[in-house]
Amino acid sequence: MVAISKIATGNGHGENSPYFDGWKAYETNPFHPTERPDGVIQMGLAENQLCFNLIKKWVLQHPEASLCSAEGVNKFKETALFQDYHGMPEFRQAVAKFMGKVRGDRVNFDPDRIVMSGGATGAHEMVAFCLADPGEAFLVPTPYYPGFDRDLRWRTGVELVPVVCESSNNFKITRNALETAYKKAKEANLRVKGLLITNPSNPLGTILDRETLKSIVKFINEKNIHLIGDEIYAATVFMEPEFVSISEIIDEVECNRDLIHIVYSLSKDMGFPGFRVGIVYSYNDAVVSCARKMSSFGLVSSQTQHLIASMLSDDDFIDNFIVESKEQLFKRHKYFTWSLSQVGIGSLKSNAGLFIWMDLRKLLKEKTLEAEMDLWRVIINEVKLNVSPGSSFHCNEPGWFRVCFANMDDHTMEVALLRIRTFIFRQNEAMVPRKLCTRSSLKLSFSRRRDDFMSPSIMSPHSPLPQSPLVRART
Amino acid sequence: MVSMSKIATGNGHGENSPYFEGWKAYETNPFHPIDRPDGVIQMGLAENQLCFEFIKKWLMEHPEASVCTSEGVGRFKETALFQDYHGMPEFRQAVAKFMGKVRGDRVKFDPERIVMSGGATGAHETVAFCLADPGEALLLPTPYYPGFDRDLRWRTGVELVPVICESCNNFQITRNALEAAYEKAGEDGLRVKGLLITNPSNPLGTIMDRDTLKSIVRFVNEKNIHLIGDEIYAATVFKSPEFVSISEVIEEVECDRDLIHIVYSLSKDMGFPGFRVGIIYSYNDAVMNCARKMSSYGLVSSQTQHLIATMLNDHDFVDDFIVESREQLFKRHEYFTWSLSQVGIGSLKGNGGLFIWMDLRKLLKDNTFEGEMDLWRVIINEVKLNVSPGSSFHCHEPGWFRVCFANMDDNTMEVALSRIRAFILKNNESIVPRKLCRRSSLKLSLSRSLSRRIDDFMSPTGIMSPHSPLPQSPLVRART
């Protein structure tokens, strides 16, 4: 009757993906420790909730960071009026500094290349608009964040071509996989304009090693295509090996810097998704200039620029925050992966991100996508956990699930782990590791396990822990 | 060498328009009362700076509006984590309530229909993406805000077709003009998907009367095309006649509500362009749902949602603010237009907005756009005022200039006015109204009357009349 656009009537918004079905289950019956103890626990949202006390403490000690306090209100007017798409100089300086510190100050970022966007969501769309025409394509290694389907394609008309990565080599991005994807694009008559990598990886939680990164930079340089590095999880690398950024590699490998662009945000590293602080950092002047003009469609609120500028300019706070955040993530990750391993659930060995890439291939009735969906529905409806099925990340192999661990308090995590254990025991007693002979010894060790765990001494970087209290209990 | 997109390499960003050249002149030499008293005064930026003391007072009394104060920090975490594109319920309720109050509570807005965007800039782009395919068109009455060329077209591929409005009838949007534009689009092979009106108008500073609005609604309904009403200046209507919103007219005229959409923002009405609070309000469920999904590209910072929710939910404050803001705008507008009239400069009679549509047709050497550009360069380089030439608004007729008056303090405005007076007196004595015979008597009256004039003016009960020139101007009194 009333005509609207094709973009509006199509499915490009991507919300028909199963990724969102779990959300709906959660939203109708969300877990609450007292009000809805049988509700669905949200483990599908990659949020970082572990450092808010540290941040709140800083906020209270720095009233000048707010425009609404007596200390800050004199800047209210100039800030409320500030809409320059270059962004506040102090904001850009603070963000550039933070990005450098997160990379161990091994590289410097130029504040004049910092361009704002409406979160990383807006940043990705903006970069796509700058680099590719409708019908052209980006290569994206699988598995990848489902939001890319919408952010890079919906309103831009750009196509995505998967670079298929496999569990047999821990989902590494190989030269072969890149070449295969590039060829496939050509055969489909798609002009490839760039390659988008997410490092640290969502959903894998792994980082790219130096050799892989160099190989990637060589690849794009040879093909003369752009490289977009989404480094949104840069500060969540909580243990060795150390994070290596594209910004470091381009100092080590010959390449045309006009091809290099970084997307960043404070949503994951600081836990501020609501503040919509998206950043595009390009080494290409024309892209910086164009993206900056486009940033008008999604500038960072000047009120938020002011807060972030104050916070991230406090070097002591930042140095402290980065260390504290890594520690909290490390502890949470270790406890979680170890607890899962105790019931025979493994995950991809990882050292970053706010989630693990859980391996439930053994639990599939068949090695098919349908079986993965069946298992997933059981996890949502019976175990009452919203986890994300690998297929929503375009994983080429069924049975993997992304499970977020940093978006809940300790108690909720215990409830989640308990539900998982119960489920596993019920499903298949054969799954339980041979180290444990009886269920009762498992239950007995619970409280000890937690205390021992919290002490850094017995933690080793690999799971299962050779010195696990469960082992000790048995001997 | 390195290939980017056509969008990136083209000129769709619109910054080669003269609208931005004046900015550059200002940026290299901006006026400052002490540091750069000969600098360029910015009169090309439609900002509302008149009510900040009022707002700051409220802030000091409401520390809970910030998530950083001890009163508000308890909500820091939940706010920092809140990224739901539905927006905070209290934010939507507060904005819906505010929009209603600005329309005298003659109409209600449903908080469930409030959708966020990256400022009005993001709102317009999102609406274009929702309603039209690349190559399709929107009708746009001239003169219009230059930013539309970029916001509606750049990344969307949508075309704009002007609806020509003329000074002979005060730039009213006539049925004829609409039909003519619609037909021309058809001849050019363009499928028209909608009509965008800005009411109150930028750059005219006028509002549309009820009959015009009804005629517009009937037009879109007959053609089955969308109507987008940009009502960003709604609260800046500072005197009669009262503002009439599309939201009211659709209650009075038969129409398909699926065609009706409003774009709003707090940038002009509250003076908060930095906070990027853009709003799309559509009566069409499919558009609302689509726009909401698209809002992910430009959500309002949750920190700002919290502040705005607290502020706009304070109904007493809002009621006072609306009245205070109108009063300040009225005073400033009256004094400014009256002062200009004293040196023979007229402007379109307006009652809204943050600017006047100044008539300098008499000063053109040629009645051409080149003549307008020449005059404009003189104004920037010699008079040192950044005003906006009518051509950058796609005005059909040369000689009109938009001049902003609400983005400066009283002192700066006086400096601007004295520069204008000096320029006019230098250029063309015949321009000076016949009431004043000699330059000297003008000069004498200027200095003697200046302080009186301001005092008389500032008194609300005094000699102000809504039309300029003031029949009881002190200059006239000085002479008799």
pLDDT digits (tens, 9 = 90+) for B106-144: 999 999 999 999 999 999 999 999 999 999 999 999 999
Closest to B280 in 3D by CA, of B130, B399, B430, B139:
B130
Higher pLDDT, A65 or B479: A65
- Residue B239 inside a domain? The answer is yes
What's the pLDDT at B146? 94
Residues of chain A with Cβ-Cβ distance to B267 below 8 Å are 83
What's the pLDDT at A24? 82
Decide if A81 and B125 are in contact by the 8 Å CB cutoff. Answer: no
Same domain flag for A190 and A276: yes
ipTM reported for the complex, 2 dp: 0.90
**B372 and B258 in contact (C-beta within 8 Å)?**
no
Q: In 10 A of CB A451, how many CB atoms?
A: 9
What's the pLDDT at B21? 72
Higher pLDDT, B459 or A63: A63
- Which range among B223-227, B373-377, B449-453 shows the weakest confidence by mean pLDDT? B449-453
CA B129 to chain centre: 23
Query: What is d(CA B301, CA B310) in angstroms, rounded to the nearest whole number?
Result: 14
Q: Specify the CATH number for the domain of residue A335.
A: 3.90.1150.10
Decide if B303 and A302 are in contact by the 8 Å CB cutoff. Answer: no
Which residues are registered as beta bridge partners of A116? A279
Q: Which of A19, A26, A145, A182 is catalytic?
A: A145
Q: Is A173 a residue of the active site?
A: no
Residues of chain A with Cβ-Cβ distance to B274 below 8 Å are 79-83, 301-303
Q: In 10 A of CB A323, how many CB atoms?
A: 10
Phi, psi (5° rounding) for residue A131?
Answer: -100, -30
Instruction: For residue B53, give how far its alpha carbon lies from the nearest alpha carbon of chain A (Å).
Output: 9
Q: Which are the contacts of A316, defined by CB distance < 8 A and separation ≥ 6? A: none
Q: Where are the beta strands (DSSP E) in A76-191?
A: 114-118, 137-141, 159-163
Residue showing tokens 């093909």: A223
Complete edge-to-edge strand list for the sheet that includes strand A226-230: A114-118, A277-282, A260-265, A226-230, A192-198, A137-141, A159-163
Decide if A130 and B298 are in contact by the 8 Å CB cutoff. Answer: no
Q: How far is CA B169 from CA B27, B164, B172, B173, B174, in A?
A: 37, 12, 6, 9, 9
Say how many domains are in chain A: 2
Same domain flag for A179 and A117: yes
- Residue B308 inside a domain? The answer is yes
Same domain flag for B45 and B147: no
What's the pLDDT at A441? 39
For every residue of A434-462, which 3-state class applies, written as one string? CCCCCHHHHHHHHHHHHHHHHCHHHCCCC
What's the pLDDT at A450? 42
Question: What average pLDDT does this structure show over B367-388?
Answer: 95
**Nearest chain B residue to A220, by CA:** B2
Choose from B9, B71, B297 for mutation: most chain A CBs within 10 A.
Answer: B297
**A279 and A97 in contact (C-beta within 8 Å)?**
no
Q: Which of A8, A70, A136 sits opposite B130 (nearest CB)?
A: A8
Which 3 state secondary structure label does DSSP give B418?
A: helix
> Structure tokens of B156?
């969307």
Same domain flag for B209 and B275: yes
Same domain flag for A227 and A328: no
Query: What is d(CA B311, CA B430) in angstroms, rounded to the nearest whole number?
Result: 52
**Nearest chain A residue to B88, by CA:** A274
- Residue A446 inside a domain? The answer is no
Average pLDDT in chain B:
90
Same domain flag for A164 and A203: yes
**B204 and B357 in contact (C-beta within 8 Å)?**
yes
**A137 and A160 in contact (C-beta within 8 Å)?**
yes
Closest to B62 in 3D by CA, of A182, A76, A320, A313:
A76
**A257 and A97 in contact (C-beta within 8 Å)?**
no
Q: Which of A70, A258, A301 sits opposite B300 (nearest CB)?
A: A301
Residues of chain A with Cβ-Cβ distance to B23 below 8 Å are none
Instruction: For residue A54, give how far its alpha carbon lies from the nearest alpha carbon of chain B (Å).
Output: 11
Same domain flag for A274 and A308: yes
Same domain flag for A249 and A370: no
Query: What is d(CA A357, CA A402) in angstroms, rounded to the nearest whole number?
Result: 5
Domain hosting A169: range is: 65-314
What's the pLDDT at A269? 98
**A97 and A114 in contact (C-beta within 8 Å)?**
no
- Residue A448 inside a domain? The answer is no
Alpha-helical (H) ranges within A313-438 are 315-342, 369-378, 410-427
Query: What is d(CA B359, CA B363) in angstroms, rounded to the nearest whole number?
Result: 9
Complete edge-to-edge strand list for the sheet that includes strand B346-347: B346-347, B355-359, B400-404, B388-389
Which 3 state secondary structure label does DSSP give A86?
A: coil
Q: What does pTM read for this prediction?
A: 0.90
Scored b (16 or more CB within 10 A) or e, B238-276 reads: beeeebbbbbebbeeeebbebbbbbbbbbbbbbbbbbbb
What's the pLDDT at A19? 65
Alpha-helical (H) ranges within A34-109 are 52-61, 76-81, 89-102
Question: Pairing state of beta strands A260-265 and A277-282?
Answer: antiparallel
A178-212 pLDDT, tens digit per residue, is: 999 999 999 999 999 999 999 999 999 999 999 99
Domain boundary residue, one of B275, B293, B313: B313
Decide if B4 and A131 are in contact by the 8 Å CB cutoff. Answer: yes
Q: Specify the CATH number for the domain of residue B143.
A: 3.40.640.10
Q: What is the number of CB-based contacts under 8 A between chain A and chain B? A: 246
Same domain flag for B303 and B343: no
- Residue B103 inside a domain? The answer is yes
Q: Which of A5, A129, A273 sits opposite B81 (nearest CB)?
A: A273
What's the pLDDT at A229? 98
Instruction: For residue B441, give how far its alpha carbon lies from the nearest alpha carbon of chain A (Å).
Output: 41
Instruction: For residue A181, give how far its alpha carbon lies from the nearest alpha carbon of chain B (Å).
Output: 20
B228-259 pLDDT, tens digit per residue, is: 999 999 999 999 999 999 999 999 999 999 99
Question: What average pLDDT does this structure show over B409-434?
Answer: 82
Residues of chain B with Cβ-Cβ distance to A274 below 8 Å are 79-83, 301-303
CA A153 to chain centre: 20
What percentage of chain B reaches a pLDDT higher than 70? 88
Instruction: For residue B370, give how far its alpha carbon lies from the nearest alpha carbon of chain A (Å).
Output: 28
**A119 and B311 in contact (C-beta within 8 Å)?**
no
- Residue A244 inside a domain? The answer is yes
- Residue B451 inside a domain? The answer is no
| pLDDT of B463 higher than 60 | no
Question: Sorting pLDDT into bands at 50, 70 and 90, what band is B221?
Answer: very high
**B282 and B293 in contact (C-beta within 8 Å)?**
no
Instruction: For residue B135, give how far its alpha carbon lies from the nearest alpha carbon of chain A (Å).
Output: 11
Same domain flag for B40 and B124: no
Domain boundary residue, one of B298, B313, B328: B313
B255-308 pLDDT, tens digit per residue, is: 999 999 999 999 999 999 999 999 999 999 999 999 999 999 999 999 999 999
Phi, psi (5° rounding) for residue B387?
Answer: -110, 170
Instruction: Provide the annotated active-site residues of B.
Output: 145, 230, 232, 268
A401-427 pLDDT, tens digit per residue, is: 999 999 999 999 999 999 999 999 887
Higher pLDDT, B392 or A472: B392
**Nearest chain B residue to A221, by CA:** B2
**Nearest chain A residue to B154, by CA:** A294
Same domain flag for A298 and A390: no
Residues of chain B with Cβ-Cβ distance to A125 below 8 Å are 297
What's the pLDDT at A18? 66
Same domain flag for A187 and A44: no
Q: Which amino acid is at B271?
A: G
- Residue A127 inside a domain? The answer is yes
Closest to A19 in 3D by CA, of A149, A134, A197:
A149
pLDDT along chain A (475 residues), means of 10: 90 79 85 95 95 97 96 97 97 98 98 98 98 97 96 98 97 98 98 98 98 98 98 98 98 96 98 98 97 98 98 98 98 97 96 98 95 95 95 96 96 96 80 45 40 35 33 32
- In this structure, the dihedral spanned by the alpha carbons of residues B207, B210, B211 and B214, taken in order and rounded to 10 degrees, is 110
Q: Is A268 a residue of the active site?
A: yes
Q: Which of B76, B256, B276 sits opposite A56 (nearest CB)?
A: B76
Domain boundary residue, one of A383, A399, A424: A424
Residues of chain B with Cβ-Cβ distance to A285 below 8 Å are none
What's the pLDDT at B19? 62
Which 3 state secondary structure label does DSSP give A156?
A: coil
Residues of chain A with Cβ-Cβ distance to B131 below 8 Å are 4-5, 8
**Nearest chain B residue to A293, by CA:** B13
Range B436-439, long-range pairs (CB < 8 A, 24+ positions): B436/B475, B436/B479
